Amino acid sequence: MISYGKQTLDKTDIDAVIEVLNGAWLTQGPFVKKFEDDLKKNFKAEYVCAVSNGTAALHLTALALGWGENDYVILPPITFLSTANCIVYAKAIPVFVDIDSYTYCLNPNLVEEKVKYLRKNGKNVKAIIGVDYAGHPCDWESLRSIADYYDLILVNDNCHAIGAEYKNDFCYSLKYADVVCHSYHPVKPFTTGEGGAVLTNNSFIDKKVRLLRTHGVIKNPKEIDHFEGPWYYEMVDIGFNYRITDFQCALGSNQLKKLKKFLKRRRQIALKYKNAFRKKIPEILLPKCANDINHGYHLFPILVDFDNYEIDKVTFFRKMYNTGINLQVHYIPLHFQPFYMENYGYKKGDFIVAEEFYKKEISLPIYPGLTNKELSFVIDSINKYLK
């Protein structure tokens, strides 16, 4: 079965993990720090805290930023559940704002309108979470100027776009956002199995994230007034066990070395798709690139208007599945989820760009290990059913 996304592992990855398994530390050992240092260097971050998954990274970000009751946080409806859930974990209120039809990311004009509207109505708008959907960076320059003007915190849910470039900069994420969250799930740009990280240049945010990663416990004698002995620790906040293991981090460090190579192959696959469909099925809407970005192609989202075909989306998916290709849709708009409808009053029709997008969107297989033969098979199969 060819899936929309998948990890790409080689012998060096397996050897890196085995080395840790043969060593003294499975968790809380030196490979966590090494992975964090590698991430710092690669993405020009002053502080990096590696955690158990991307959702944990977002959760700790929400808590470290002090979001709470009656705080409003803006995000797009086209993203994974976690982007909104982290706001709810912190008891704050998620405010969806529609996407832009060119980038498929937050529309900055609508963000500003929404901030103005909420402020005028006495609401406490705290932050914006931008999602670099599919690997296409948001319009970060505009989002940053809105955040500065209205005194908001800017978070980048960068899970799709690790390694993408904005204004020729591989390290753009922390240049604009105050906090950046990563996920290293197997389908993401590189993997640790499960895993994630919080990147920031703010020492207070990093300190809080670190504290909450391990039960809100401090052990450093310098930070404790009445240190009682080598066994001693104090719980000063209510935290979690959101740690990542050493063998995952060893895998992460080794995968990170190959990130640029992975991205090169993803871009090559994207180009092959684009050339093939432009020629064979020009009606398909292909993912676009703003001219100052280099797409990461975590996903290859195409838009198909099934009103113009005899086949419907469900049948198309089933036929593709039966030939061995497991497509996916990213995403069901979050304001369609029963939880968000029932608890926050969202309804169908609220965000028309996102809804049109959902109706048409299909994520095609794209990952570094996808062979040219498999790629041709995918293209030919789509061509067969969408002709």
Ligand X SMILES: *Cc1c(COP(=O)(O)O)cnc(C)c1O
List of residues contacting ligand X (CB under 6 A):
53-55, 79-80, 82-83, 131, 157, 159-160, 183, 185, 196
Coil vs helix vs strand at 294: strand
Q: Compare residues 186 and 216 and give the one whose CB is closer to ligand X.
A: 186
Q: Compare residues 80 and 277 and give the one whose CB is closer to ligand X.
A: 80
Q: How far is the CB of 262 from ligand X (least distance, A)?
A: 16
Q: Compare residues 138 and 353 and give the one whose CB is closer to ligand X.
A: 138
Name the residue number minimizing CB distance to ligand X: 54
Q: How far is the CB of 346 from ligand X (least distance, A)?
A: 19
Rounded to whole angstroms, how far apart are CA atoms 72 and 127? 7
Nearest to 4, CA basis, from 370, 384, 387, 385: 370
Q: Compare residues 53 and 294 and give the one whose CB is closer to ligand X.
A: 53
Dump strand ranges (E) for 250-371.
293-294, 300-303, 325-326, 361-364
Q: How far is the CB of 147 from ligand X (least distance, A)?
A: 19
Asked whether the beta carbons of 357 and 78 are under 8 A apart, the reply is: yes
List of residues 6+ apart from 204 with CB closer than 8 A: 64
Q: Compare residues 42 and 191 and give the one whose CB is closer to ligand X.
A: 191
Amino acid identity, residue 238?
I
Q: How far is the CB of 54 from ligand X (least distance, A)?
A: 2
Rounded to whole angstroms, how far apart are CA atoms 215 and 371? 44
Q: Compare residues 263 and 276 and give the one whose CB is closer to ligand X.
A: 263
Q: How far is the CB of 159 from ligand X (least distance, A)?
A: 4
Q: How far is the CB of 288 from ligand X (least distance, A)?
A: 19
How many other C-beta atoms lie within 10 A of the C-beta of residue 348? 11
* Phi and psi torsions of 302, nearest 5°: -110, 155
Rounded to whole angstroms, how far apart are CA atoms 153 and 128? 6
